[in-house]
Amino acid sequence: MMISLPYLLRKENICHISDGSVHIGDRRVFPFEKRFEACSSVEEVSTALKSMVTQGGGPLQVAFTTLRFIADGMLQHRYAYSFAELTRQVGLLISARPTNTTMRRVMLALLDDLSPFCTQDTPVEDFVRHLNLLVDTQEMAYDDLYHHMGRIGSTLLEDADVILTTCFAEHTFLLSLAYAKEQGKNISVLVNETRPYLQGARLTYPSLVEMGIDAHIITDGMGAHYLSEGKITKYMTASDLVCLDGTVVNKVGSLSNAVACKYYGVPYYAFSISPDPTKRTSSDIPMEERDGQEVLHCLGRATTSEGRALYPSFDCIEPSLVQGIVTPKGVLAPSEIARSFT
Amino acid sequence: MMISLPYLLRKENICHISDGSVHIGDRRVFPFEKRFEACSSVEEVSTALKSMVTQGGGPLQVAFTTLRFIADGMLQHRYAYSFAELTRQVGLLISARPTNTTMRRVMLALLDDLSPFCTQDTPVEDFVRHLNLLVDTQEMAYDDLYHHMGRIGSTLLEDADVILTTCFAEHTFLLSLAYAKEQGKNISVLVNETRPYLQGARLTYPSLVEMGIDAHIITDGMGAHYLSEGKITKYMTASDLVCLDGTVVNKVGSLSNAVACKYYGVPYYAFSISPDPTKRTSSDIPMEERDGQEVLHCLGRATTSEGRALYPSFDCIEPSLVQGIVTPKGVLAPSEIARSFT
């Protein structure tokens, strides 16, 4: 049986090119609207990424599509044809989201692989063919990885599990649930709404409903309540970044649940394609402090009279709170990450 | 120096009688509007309490005012004059909020004190005078208690403390901060917004600003983040109920922070006028499960497409997570509650 992805994870809905623009699925307005943000330049793509039009695994898919857009632009003479120009454009993408480093690593590796094919003598057509081939290959590799990790994740799931999750854990988590369902396991999910952007309520919950998986939304403070009542069997999230020491960096609010899981003896698993080899511990991480004003709004409406708020984007979850990290190499203990990936 | 209460805690803004109706300050729309819900019967008052027009210490003040309203109604023949009728009306108030039992205990004690003054021969005027006198006495006793507990609470606060708080901890917490400020201590507060009703963002935060106390709003999942960074020195909340074993029952979301405090070695203090002598442990507590639809809205706006959600009103915070309970008898360890109050 073919596993079918929910709307939000289908490639064309994350990002596609049409009418000479990069169209990014706007996750800020889903599920109320199925709108796309049209970007006619790499600068606009970068701004869209900064504005959280998409998040999680979205930026990587956007970067793949944007590389195709640049390649096409070089053929059409909209972009100057040089490796330096390509590097500058890629830099705009990378700088948009400093904490989520998967996209950066993939982009830099791609530039590295490409550089031999861009000497002064290489015709633009050859260069573009190589670039597109590399993008296609990487994109397919990621599709395979997602399914591979979904199958690994599904082995952790047991019939009658009740999974707590925060934010939108995307392909790897949702595919784990899909494969578990295919295996006849009956899983239900409690979804933190994930303030301030409500990714849990708006993205994860509708995707689970679409996939036919039993789910309820809870507020971000309710995880400990259900953990204390013994009603949650596992906590699972994506990770924006994993350090070599097994520290998991993920959406703020994840630490609160991970600590409560530790206290009540419930395992916490994070999904990660790879640790970031340049980050040994949490002290190596440049944390994104976002504008506190975002915390003072919900769906565009002010939640109080004018005020002051704080918005640290991410939590660092220390390795002792993490039962396992679901990677392409299997489910690893945090202490196994460094030697498995270096 | 006289401590001045912020808008929300001034008696006339919690509840007052005018134009023959009980006017309850509508905390659901504060600070956007300063509106009152006018109730022309005890049934309407009960409905307003069920609908969370006011909460926390509000229902007790509403009950005092409603007793005066009933007394006046008996004089004016709008209400039948009998003890049975009064008991029935009080029953309507009590049943409105099953978990918050302070109001119930005060009301039942008041009926008990009143019953000798309502025999078949007692003229209605005498009965009403006794009722009003008892209400005045109780109300003044509570005013004194609040200030007394505020002074006790202030002794826990140290210069440069950063206090985390959830929901709206009302008189006792806010007066503790006010007395600490008067003592020259510089305190700042991180306020959980407290979804779904945003009492932290809407009620606590503006009150702190009004009182000149440094404050920031954070989402309900961010407490552990700042605890892990060592930026919070104490966690303080009100309590909807305290059991004799020292279990603290408070707004859902409090447990999550209390667990994180335990993990990071930060003390958690709750304020309580008295434990509920009929509740030995958390298993004696009838928990309010509210309508999950409330979790699917923020300020009246849907947070996702139609869905299912859960809304347990309260957390039970086990005694081992509680450093101390601020009571009129001092700051007690949870284990001291039973012998101090029975």
Domains and CATH numbers, chain B: 7-144 (1.20.120.420), 152-341 (3.40.50.10470)
pLDDT of residue B164: 98
User: If you measure CA to CA, which chain A residue comes closest to B206?
Assistant: A305
Chain B CB within 8 Å of residue A219 CB: yes
End-to-end CA distance of chain B: give it in Å, rounded: 36
Distance between CA atoms of residues A287 and A251, nearest Å: 11
Chain A CB within 8 Å of residue B303 CB: yes
Look at B259 and A224 and tell me if their CB atoms are within 8 Å: yes
Mutate to test the interface with A, among B222, B237, B257, B296 (most CBs of A within 10 A): B222
pLDDT of residue A1: 52
Across B316-332, b (16+ Cβ under 10 Å) vs e yields bbbbebbbbbbbbeebb
Interface of B with A in 223-242 (CB under 8 A): 223-226, 228
A217 contacts in B (CB within 8 Å)?
Answer: 292, 295-296, 303-304, 307-310
Distance between CA atoms of residues A159 and A240, nearest Å: 28
pLDDT of residue A253: 98
pLDDT of residue B285: 87
pLDDT of residue A273: 92
Compute CA distances A123 → A36, A66, A75, A138, B120, whole Å.
34, 21, 10, 23, 108
Distance between CA atoms of residues A260 and A43, nearest Å: 42
pTM: 0.93
Q: Which residues in chain A land under pLDDT 70?
A: 1, 100
Residue B217 pairs in a beta bridge with A309, B191
Across A144-159, b (16+ Cβ under 10 Å) vs e yields ebbbbbbbbbbebbee
CB neighbourhood size of B158 (10 A) = 12
Across B100-138, b (16+ Cβ under 10 Å) vs e yields bbbbbbbbeebbeebeebbeeeeeeeebbebbeebbeeb
Tens digit of each residue's pLDDT (9 = 90 or more) over B177-232: 999 999 999 999 999 999 999 999 999 999 999 999 999 999 999 999 999 999 99
CA atoms within 13 A on the CB side of A220: 31
Interface of A with B in 256-285 (CB under 8 A): 256-257, 259-260, 262-263
Look at B219 and A296 and tell me if their CB atoms are within 8 Å: no
Q: Tokens representing A337?
A: 């990450």
pLDDT of residue A233: 98
User: If you count residue pairs, one on A and one on B, with CB atoms under 8 Å apart, how many are there?
Assistant: 191
Look at B303 and A299 and tell me if their CB atoms are within 8 Å: yes
Distance between CA atoms of residues A307 and A298, nearest Å: 14
Q: Which of A255, A295, A311 comes nearest B228 by C-beta?
A: A255
Distance between CA atoms of residues B115 and A316, nearest Å: 60
Q: Which of B224, B298, B312 comes nearest A298 by C-beta?
A: B298
A212 contacts in B (CB within 8 Å)?
Answer: none
Please list the pLDDT of chain B residue by residue as tens digits (342 residues): 578 899 999 999 999 999 999 999 999 999 999 999 999 999 999 999 999 899 888 999 999 999 999 999 999 998 888 899 999 999 999 999 877 678 999 999 999 999 988 888 889 999 999 999 999 999 999 999 999 999 999 999 999 999 999 999 999 999 999 999 999 999 999 999 999 999 999 999 999 999 999 999 999 999 999 999 999 999 999 998 999 999 999 999 999 999 999 999 999 999 999 999 999 999 998 777 889 999 999 999 999 988 999 999 899 999 999 999 999 999 999 999 999 998
pLDDT of residue B175: 97
pLDDT of residue A100: 66
CA atoms within 13 A on the CB side of A296: 16
A260 contacts in B (CB within 8 Å)?
Answer: 255-256, 259-260
Note the ipTM here.
0.92
CB neighbourhood size of A241 (10 A) = 22
Query: Under 8 Å CB-to-CB from A43, ≥6 apart: which residues?
Result: A92
pLDDT of residue B1: 52
3 state SS of B23: strand
Q: Tokens representing B237?
A: 């909340």
Task: Give how far B70 is from chain A: nearest CA, Å.
Answer: 35
Look at B308 and A215 and tell me if their CB atoms are within 8 Å: yes
pLDDT of residue A117: 84
Query: Under 8 Å CB-to-CB from A198, ≥6 apart: which residues?
Result: A298, A299, B303, B304
CA R_g for chain A: 20
Look at B310 and A217 and tell me if their CB atoms are within 8 Å: yes
